[in-house]
Amino acid sequence: MTPVRLAICRTARAAARRAATTTAALQDDLTPAGVSWLKFGDDMVYCGAGKSWSEFKKNRAGCARAALHEHPSEVARERIHVVVQKGRLFQREHPEVPVLIDKGRFLLVDLEPKCARKIGNSDVPCFSVRPLDTLKTTRARGRHRIIFDVLPRVAARAARAAADPVIQGLVNRISRQSYEADLTRLVQFNTRHSTRPEFAAACDFVDQQLANLGYATSRQSIQVNGSPSQNVIAIRTGSGSVSRGVVLVSAHLDSINHEGTATSPAPGADDDGSGSAGVIEIARALKDHQGKHDLKLVLFGGEEQGLFGSKKFVASMTPAARAKVRAVVHMDMIASLNSASPTVLLEGAALSQSIIDGLSAAASTYTGLMVQTSLNPFNSDHVPFIQKGVPAVLTIEGTDDANHAIHSARDTLDRLNFDLALEILRMNTAFVAEALVRT
Ligand SMILES: [Zn+2]
């Protein structure tokens, strides 16, 4: 075991935006060899031992614009793990695990490696536990890691890319009235548990809505732990010929109540009624925006039991079909405001960096969203795509604080923030509209 000291540098929000532009190279200059840094959104976390740690603290003492809080005791480096959780589901299940850093979706915890492997091995995608050293870095640098990043908001109008009038027109179609009506209908099914008849009824509703908008709909049968369930798929063919690609927009239609049984109330308003109604709303906004590429809309089943719907969907694609996918924009929980300003987290992997960039640009041009990014994909339907080399990004509400209501009867409409959801839908609509016509 290697004992190390940890210190957190909490920057004020304004300073954090400036710090967000700090390059990895500059951070390297500020930290001596032997001290590593992690970026957790607004917080910088430093980790080191011995002489280099004393040197680091001495250097920081002179120039500390923001205070450095040293963790009171040494921690064994091997025990430091990064948890990515949905809402507070890791902490709800494992209140005994000491949390070193708490950034909502992202935690740094002190956990015995054997124990971490055991609790992280569960296939149910509520949380994941990874040893610090196995994480991918945003920029490929050995000892430094950006767990997630806060992108600077482009405040000055002049500095933003000018809005394209056609795209702006499509973005303006995003309507609270129709979105709220669809979401309200979805929440009215007592549950959308993947293997219940109510889920099948919800599939019928979504299928009908998309068919009414002119999309060709179909179903894909799936198995969820041995019981039948399904995905709903809708498509509008693009006008391109040989080089035609596919832009895919998705969410998971199923819900779950972990405090009860399959028949307990599971309204799933945020998780993931908000994303499912979002797929319909984007389909509505883009219903007559035929681009070069195919627009495919997918509502997955079996997500809550272990990504069964998306795994089957990706597995059933031929390599040629996978290669045609230009972007997957997935929505899972987009309507709970957990931070002072409306924030979206864009979570992908290195292969989806251009989608993250495109979504960030769309957010800055067409919305007032704060954007966070992460290249550590976990816990939702974007993961099976990424694992098979298909560029996918999860768009999810920012979780500086947390959503305590999901996976229970408390995930209800009255907790939602429609303004946040509509902003995320505008960002996604702008990105998808552009992606459909791009050569
Ligand atoms: Zn979900």
Confidence at 62, pLDDT banded by 50, 70, 90:
low
- Alpha carbon of 403 to ligand 1 centroid (Å): 12
User: How is domain 157-437 classified at the CATH fold level?
Assistant: Aminopeptidase (3.40.630)
Closest to 244 (Cα-Cα) out of 353, 358, 323, 166: 323
d(CA 276, CA 60): 48
pLDDT over 80 (residue 397): yes
Q: What percent of the chain has pLDDT over 90?
A: 59
Q: Which one has a higher pLDDT value, 38 or 90? A: 90
- Alpha carbon of 17 to ligand 1 centroid (Å): 29
Q: Tell me phi and psi for residue 293, to 5 degrees.
A: -100, 160
Contacts of 82 (CB under 8 A, 6+ apart): 106, 107, 108, 109, 129, 130, 131, 132, 135, 147, 376
Strands 294-300 and 227-236: antiparallel
The per-residue pLDDT for 148 is 73
Residue 236 parent element (H or E): strand 227-236
d(CA 394, CA 383): 9
Q: Which range, 6-15, 34-43, 57-66, 133-142, is most confident?
A: 34-43
Find where tokens 């925006």 sit. 289
Closest to 176 (Cα-Cα) out of 413, 406, 436: 413
Residue type, position 323, single letter: A
- Alpha carbon of 125 to ligand 1 centroid (Å): 9
d(CA 125, CA 271): 13
- Alpha carbon of 128 to ligand 1 centroid (Å): 14
The per-residue pLDDT for 20 is 46
The per-residue pLDDT for 41 is 74
The whole-number average pLDDT for the span 264-268 is 97
The C-alpha R_g of the chain, in whole angstroms, comes to 22
**What is the 3-class SS of 175-217, one letter each residue?**
CHHHHHHHHHHHHHCCECCCCCHHHHHHHHHHHHHHHHCCCEE
Q: Which one has a higher pLDDT value, 80 or 199? A: 199
- Alpha carbon of 155 to ligand 1 centroid (Å): 31
The per-residue pLDDT for 7 is 82
- Alpha carbon of 311 to ligand 1 centroid (Å): 15
- Alpha carbon of 333 to ligand 1 centroid (Å): 6
Look up residue 415 and give its DSSP letter. Answer: G
C-alpha distance from residue 299 to each of 1, 12, 46, 231 (Å):
46, 40, 41, 6
- Alpha carbon of 219 to ligand 1 centroid (Å): 20
pLDDT over 80 (residue 137): no
d(CA 147, CA 167): 32
- Alpha carbon of 381 to ligand 1 centroid (Å): 9
The per-residue pLDDT for 335 is 95
Confidence at 61, pLDDT banded by 50, 70, 90:
low
Distance spanning both ends of the chain, measured CA to CA: 53
| Region of poorest pLDDT, from 84-88, 303-307, 361-365, 419-423 | 84-88
230-251 tens-digit pLDDT: 999 999 999 988 789 999 999 9
Q: Which one has a higher pLDDT value, 368 or 66? A: 368
C-alpha distance from residue 146 to each of 24, 46, 142, 230 (Å):
9, 12, 11, 37
- Alpha carbon of 85 to ligand 1 centroid (Å): 11
Q: Tell me phi and psi for residue 228, to 5 degrees.
A: -75, 140
Mean per-residue pLDDT of the chain: 87
| Region of poorest pLDDT, from 67-76, 106-115, 206-215 | 67-76
Q: Which range, 11-15, 95-99, 213-217, is most confident?
A: 213-217
Contacts of 326 (CB under 8 A, 6+ apart): 245, 246, 247, 293, 391, 435, 438
The whole-number average pLDDT for the span 393-419 is 87
326-368 tens-digit pLDDT: 999 999 999 999 877 899 999 999 999 999 999 999 999 999 9
DSSP helix/strand/coil, 18: helix
| Region of poorest pLDDT, from 69-83, 137-151, 160-174, 284-298 | 137-151
200-234 tens-digit pLDDT: 999 999 999 999 999 999 999 999 999 999 999 99
| Region of poorest pLDDT, from 97-106, 157-166, 232-241, 339-348 | 157-166
pLDDT over 80 (residue 170): yes
The whole-number average pLDDT for the span 30-54 is 79
CB atoms within 10 A of CB 321: 12
Q: Where are the domains of the chain?
A: 3-151, 157-437
- Alpha carbon of 292 to ligand 1 centroid (Å): 31
- Alpha carbon of 303 to ligand 1 centroid (Å): 7
Q: HSE (CB half, 13 Å, CA atoms) of 254? A: 28
Closest to 366 (Cα-Cα) out of 416, 419, 428: 428
The whole-number average pLDDT for the span 389-397 is 96
Q: What is the pTM of this model?
A: 0.83
